[in-house]
Structure 1
Amino acid sequence: MSKVINKNKVQFFPVMNEEEFEALKASIADRGVEVPIIVDQDGDIVDGHQRKRACEELGINCLTEVRDFVNETEKLELALTLNCNRRQLNQKQKRKLIEDYLLHDAEIADNYLAGIIGVSKNTVASVRRKLEASCQIDKYDTLRGKDGVKRPKKQKRIIANTPKETEKACQTILQMSDKSSGKTLDVISAQRHAKRNQNAQKRKVEGESVVPVTDEDIRIFHTPFQKLESVAGIDPESVQLICTDIPYDKSFLPQIEELAEFAKRVLVDGGVLVTYSGQYWLPQVMEMLGKYLDYRWMIASCWSGDANQINIGNCNITNSWKPVLVFSKGKMNKKCTIPDVSHVQTKEKQWHDWQQPLSEAELLIRSFSSPGDLVVDTCGGGFTSAVASRNLNRRYIGCDIENECVQNGHRRLQLTNELSEYIEDAVELGRSDVNEMLQDWSSLNGVSPDLASGLVLELPENLREPVLNEPVTAV
């Protein structure tokens, strides 16, 4: 009796979808199996699960290579190397692959695994730290390199020439980042490394990215805001900020009072509601919001060029600003200082006709909430507030009554997340040409050049700074 092959023993890559599998099967039917499957001495498949499946469905023999493996680690490394060479993986898939592989083989060196998958060693190290912190893998003092030899983790080293320098080195080495490991530095260079690390940590605090939010922390729904509490599971008095852009026409006026009631229920004491408003029905909007909340101030959002032409009775008005209303539930919790005039440099309408600028959304969210707070948007539109919340490390729940808006919101979040991961890895690998990076990424993800160039401006500030040293042009 022939041995039954375990098809799942060494497979941790995503399985082909049916369209990809049918294309593979058609190729094998036409030209045969050009690359043999690889099995171990027990007959378990190490590489070629889908080729084997295609041959079985076609009823033909499958070219097979049997290898004698010393241990499971050899099989894992071979499967990883062969598949990474054949597959086009995006950054999110690569990070997931790193995580899955480390769960099987945590003793592999960061630089070795990084070389196989095609990322920087810092990316592997960050995934490793996450798994170690959650106790999913053990910490190892020695890691296995490409030659199979286990070596101690690389250490930070400083050369000191005098007792005084030695004292400084002892103080400095504790302040250096892990990126300095494996380098031998003089005291002055080490102090520069330590200073950069301190500045980076300070930027993280000031940039409010203490604990990065996850995809599960940013949620958007296709529902009217009146049902959002039940659909999203929002608890009473659990929201620190409602930041939204309500419709400006008369038809929405009956819902303003419902919005104010919603805010009073879900906002914590001292929580804030911030909303854009049109001018024509402004008195009614303020009156209805004031039934349940306390008026605090009004910010003028101004722009230059392309003014709106509005006819009110016998008056023609050239409109270049809109009100941003600030209400709170009782006395405001957060102390903040903001200008009451916001100058919008450019109009952003890539995702919605009424889309507001990301920089302004970030200003409002940063001013009226803190890292880790829950931000809610009851009229999502282009979901700029979702991108801003993720950039500023806020949890987020948003909704819209238009399904197309919700679908576009999901796509916008996915693309900005994937681009962030791609550029983060590219910068760590030493790439500095923004336009070249965007060209590669847009080609890999099937994204238009204009959209790719716009998305780079939506990255978190810590990624915008290192990549925007040169102009970004259409790729």
Structure 2
Amino acid sequence: MAKQIKQISRKDRQELIKSTLRRNQGLSNKKIATLLGCSPTSIAKYRLELFGESKLDSMPVNTEDWTQHPWVQRHKDILEKKKLSDRTLKCLRTPGVLDKLVELEGVTKSPRLALTILRKEQRELNKNPSITVTEDAVKLFVADLRNESDYDQIKPESIDLILVDFMYKAEYADLYPHLGRISAKLLKPTGSLVVVCGQLLLPQAMQALGEYLTYNWTHAYMTPNGTQLVHSRRVIPKWKAILHYTKGEPDKNLAYIPDLHIPPPRVAEDTGLHPYQQSVDVELVKAFSNEGDTVMDVCMGSASYIIATLLAGRRKVYGSDANPQYVATAKARVKEFWTKREQVEK
């Protein structure tokens, strides 16, 4: 895509950047710049032009009267004697910053430093979620979607999220009706089925899944570096569909998310275990589930989504695959995950 944007006219380039910003306002300037092959400065320029705000301005702010906060009351001189910049005022109004300044009393009075510390702590919290997942909470087993009795060992209506990345060849299209039936049986009333699906099978997938579940949304899973050719359609795909279905009403506890997903780059550990091995995409798990949820992958392959679910701090994880060899591979990979975690904790 980076090459494509440089080949179009200046006017079309501007419109492409603006339309991308309108659809994905929540993404950072850097992510959008990477996606479109331009500089973050350019994205910031058009963001300011479109919304009259920088990325900082789009931060959530307290709706309560922040001037009545105890820290502000104790330090009125800062507000009265010193003219604060818009950026500093914005930091003061960001949720959690004033409470953090109370904790840092005697250390600093800088709202911007407090915001930096707060964000660092939040990142660390995401890396080490409060929900502790143990080995007993992971169950991996052989099961074929075409044989629904294989899933009788899972309690009905006990799963919050079924996340699966199917193989995209036409020969696997017959799996979608089975996936729909099994998902309808296992998902909780507000549970979600999320399927990463190639465009070639989208019509069959949506028709089959719609027989059993409620369609919620189609998200785009970006693959800008993809080189695979779909010869029958004369297409070089640069994205895949993420189909989101729910059993009933969508879970109101799920966060709002952009419908454009940029997966993490693949590393050495993400290759060699399965012909269609995926990245360990923690953010994808977090996008469609809550901390403490029960997550399942019914076509787990080498267990990339299982590892991602463990890293995301979900309470219980189920994984299945029709191929016993891949189940053995998945178990070995999960065992290695626990071994590495124990070494880190020691």
Please confirm whether the aligned pair reaches a TM-score higher than 0.5, indicating the same fold.
yes
1:275 aligns with 2:195: yes
**Which structure ranks higher in relative contact order (CA pairs < 8 Å, sequence separation ≥ 6)?**
2
The 2-side partners of 1:303 and 1:201 are apart by 31
- Counterpart of 1:411 in structure 2 is 332
Q: Among residues 245, 251, 255, which one is paired with 1:336 in the alignment? A: 255
Amino acid at match of 1:403: P
The 2-side partners of 1:274 and 1:417 are apart by 26
The 1-side partners of 2:209 and 2:127 are apart by 32
Task: Give the SS at the match of 1:295.
Answer: strand
Q: Among residues 369, 379, 397, which one is paired with 2:318 in the alignment? A: 397
Change (3 A) 1:198 1:212: farther
Change (3 A) 1:398 1:363: same
* Aligned alpha-carbon RMSD (Å): 2.9
Amino acid at match of 1:337: Y
Q: Among residues 131, 144, 147, which one is paired with 1:224 in the alignment? A: 144
Change (3 A) 1:387 1:345: closer
The 2-side partners of 1:343 and 1:218 are apart by 27
The 2-side partners of 1:327 and 1:198 are apart by 35
Q: TM-score, normalised on structure 2?
A: 0.60
Greater Cα radius of gyration, structure 1 or 2: 1
Asked if the contact 1:303/1:345 (under 8 Å) is kept, the reply is: no
- Counterpart of 1:465 in structure 2 is none
Count of aligned positions: 231
- Counterpart of 2:239 in structure 1 is 321
Q: Among residues 180, 199, 209, which one is paired with 1:289 in the alignment? A: 209
In structure 1, stretches of 5+ residues that fail to align are: 1-174, 176-186, 190-195, 426-475
- Counterpart of 2:271 in structure 1 is 349
1:260 aligns with 2:180: yes
Amino acid at match of 1:352: H
Amino acid at match of 1:288: A
1:213 aligns with 2:111: no
Fraction of identical pairs, as percent: 25
1:305 Cα deviation from its structure 2 partner: 2.8
The 2-side partners of 1:260 and 1:292 are apart by 6
1:219 Cα deviation from its structure 2 partner: 1.2
Asked if the contact 2:223/2:240 (under 8 Å) is kept, the reply is: no
Task: Give the SS at the match of 1:235.
Answer: coil
1:308 Cα deviation from its structure 2 partner: 0.8
Asked if the contact 2:215/2:244 (under 8 Å) is kept, the reply is: yes
- Counterpart of 1:421 in structure 2 is 342
Runs of 4+ in structure 1 over 6 Å off: 196-201
1:197 Cα deviation from its structure 2 partner: 11
Question: Structure 2 matches for 1:79-158, cutoff 5 A?
Answer: none
The 1-side partners of 2:313 and 2:264 are apart by 24
The 2-side partners of 1:229 and 1:370 are apart by 23
The 2-side partners of 1:366 and 1:228 are apart by 28
Amino acid at match of 1:354: Y
Amino acid at match of 1:332: P
Asked if the contact 2:167/2:276 (under 8 Å) is kept, the reply is: no
The 1-side partners of 2:128 and 2:212 are apart by 31
The 2-side partners of 1:255 and 1:241 are apart by 18
The 2-side partners of 1:384 and 1:210 are apart by 22
Amino acid at match of 2:275: D
Amino acid at match of 2:247: K
The 1-side partners of 2:195 and 2:302 are apart by 15
Asked if the contact 1:245/1:277 (under 8 Å) is kept, the reply is: yes
Task: Give the SS at the match of 1:309.
Answer: coil
The 1-side partners of 2:273 and 2:292 are apart by 26
1:382 aligns with 2:302: yes
Spell out, residue by residue over 1:162-193, the C-alpha distance to the aligned partner (whole angstroms, 9 max, x if none). Answer: xxxxxxxxxxxxx9xxxxxxxxxxx869xxxx
Change (3 A) 1:197 1:303: closer
Asked if the contact 2:162/2:295 (under 8 Å) is kept, the reply is: yes
Change (3 A) 1:251 1:418: same
Task: Give the SS at the match of 1:413.
Answer: helix
1:202 Cα deviation from its structure 2 partner: 5.5
- Counterpart of 1:372 in structure 2 is 292
